[in-house]
Chains A and B, each alone.
Chain A
């Protein structure tokens, strides 16, 4: 629908000539183009006087007046350009869906991608996939933004200069010829791990063709340890599949299987399935040093430094898998009692218990876990071992010693993610060896800078590929769009290096698949190959593994203290190992636990911070093995003492407009071991501002999240009802009739939602899914610091604590938490041992919505189906609605966030079109020429237009917005149903017929915690959930009658444990309301 060069207004009749003719005169053009910009650029140059400013402003108003008369009331001539040849089975304006998959390090996430007019706009999980609930993880949700990243590598480059595609491909052909001649002498590959059978096949071809070449695999975050440990323990190539749904007792030893491990969406789904409130729900013990999502979901959490978790593990193993030794001592009596009871619980649930060890823990710990699992009879029940291809792995240290002539780097960003690997050495030796580094990568990043040749890679949505999921099913990866910038797919690149005659990625994948065309088409349609992988039966621990277990292990030699700190390097919940650093959605997503955006920090416990004399925001220097890095301190409740948590993936130097310079680079002191001791910390004296979306940690005794222990729930299933613990004020009925009650009588549906707090682990997938579906902009760190983040859906994370540990539990005395500044929480002792609760919070669509009654222009009103709708065009931005919203879920566009250039995200000041230049051109002039693009450069603007969901309005400055229950999906479903109904009355959407749409958050949720549907249909799942005794409304006593309700959380602690008690939030609430009564 663009102006085509063939058409111009000259051949068209003009109806609205008026000032157009004037606009075409040279005088007018001259005035327009010269005088105005000249005057304004003076103002920019010398700061200008107020008078000058007014002069320019009046000129611009005059111009605006002319514009209104001349152009404003005349519609612009737009063109509709149909196809020359109409393609079959294609309807413009209708979304198309294709099955594909996102490859991960040790598997793949099966996906279905929605595409409008050939451009992918939304990623969903493949619900057809065996066992899947159609969910994804947050990385998959965010990966679509990477497709439209303006900083992607776009050119073939040699020595930093652009070369043509032909030239670059010729180079590869020559390279291949050269090494074919000498059997690959001096050729080395450095790749990231992949499960692709096609890549493995090409790798084999390379090994055959270039027998002397070397293949190295390096991942900054090594998730392959689970497979390697299992292979070593059982003596055959197998990988474990954890069935959290079948387990009754789970012990996690530093394993954040709900957070930073691979395959999290499957783990969350299975874990949530095993946690249905009631008899038989599973129990989770977590022993960890960082506060993780797994710890937040645990029934019992033991805070132990990561390097000392082995002691606890050994202690437990002595009971479970009897060994001749006496149990090794653990640090305290509490710990030993904890571990003892935990071991008892594991043994009481043989075959239904499981022990999982985190990927950051050393291999010996994994072997120990396999031994415990074997002793418990879990192998084959809760832990299945499936056959797998052995993963090739060579020690990177060899890379230095072999005489490498050419190093081919396949993806990854090893120059950034590994400060130890011989890159630096290689660089030094380079002059001697006259070597060449050939880099195939998605960004022109730190590694690209050090490479001689750079080949742009395609996104997985642009590539043919294949992969094997964690449970062993082969999935094809099919492209949704032609490469936007003409890069190469990984398979094509490798095939060209190998000198294969067939370098077409599709043909390579097709050849790997084999089989009939029918089977191939079916697998593309379904998104997976119908094949179940049966676990290896009768598998036993090998003698070698047992022998190795018996060997004495060197555990942290010196005890930890403030001069011997432990450092934990972990995969970041947002940027992964740094690969999502240039993804604005991920940077702005509040970390699931810290709620920090746009930064990483040195996470420490309160006690450690106090002993070291540091507080939140203090810059510190950490020294480890002679190397050091600087970062800000963040006191993390529930952290183990003397542990420092450092998220990897930040401090990028060449990430792009979004990611460069965000946070600090923990890789600087990372040597490949995720847990290290012997670090020291020094305060530098500088301070740093962190933008955190939830500074206040406590619920202040309001029962926003309602919890009970399993035994209480069994006694009193309706514990969460409105009069929670008999202390909530009764709901007073309104005197006035609600117009919705009248509208309800004729409306076809009444929409409502439940959020199951028992299932929700707080992973944040829904937040990104919502952002992707609803065109939610990012605002940048400084704006988040001002509380202007735009997420329609946020996840509130509260820390609760034993009220006895709080110095003064009363919220009515001056020294109580509520009146304490947020900064002081970090010094409060109660944060040491906390429980965390997560609560997704979005517009509640209150039937008696407080926001609606205060809007002066009726911009937010109710529709007949119970949606609280926003008419953006009516909104004048008074923000009264936001003030009156008790849930604080309304978001205001303080600035034109969609039109801000990405480079401004990190700026401290918002520049206006008056002072800003884009690509050397004054922005006001650019606006005059094209009023749409704002201050964004052309490439950014083109790409952001592609990435938006066409079903949802892109909001501008001065407009209020909020969760709409995905009204566009509801309307789409209604339209389809009505069109289908034709001249009949079958217009109602029914869940039984599968016509009720899913909201974006609901569809993405791995735990299936969110349920949306028609509450006027008694058979809908949402109605059934709302009828459960666990159902409650947040702040229901305000008579808001929210349509979104919550299912209370049920914890399942073990009464024998030393830390057994009622949920802290409930205890807090009880004690505070007692004080309240006493005070009043």
Chain B
């Protein structure tokens, strides 16, 4: 019974509420930048994979298969330890800014592979007749992709993209591999604080709830948008 009460004592959690909010803010900054960048990378990848040029198709296929099958921690570690530290490819003279952008790039590069594959499945839902009609009125490949195919493909994959982004938000918790401290790292430090002796489980629960506050709206929004934007055929 005493342990059950211990489980519900959120005192230590609120004592360090500032640190926790700071951690979540770091998570949000990473996730927001990665969402935008992975969408761009994914779109380019999907275009590569359906393009009529064999070299681009090969590049797209290799990229997707390499990134999608590598653990994210390794991708991030490669970015920070390999590229930033050892090869000194930095974004800025300020170390933390540089690590932030490497974390964004690593996470976006990884998530982009998933976005690209979702989008490609969306392209497959557009009837072939649409592409043929586009070609018959004289549109080039990139014109038909831009004006006919992709707008319809995007509308078909809003819901699955929502899942990809929810997974991405949760994947931010390994960003410490790229030397970027977000909420999971802050939580780990809090547990080891000399003045922190109890309340580990309330802390975990609090952080889990924090993640739900980020991911649940993302899910609801993509569900709502998918319904609203559905292509009526």
A and B held together in a complex: no
A residues near B, CB below 8 A? none
B residues near A, CB below 8 A? none
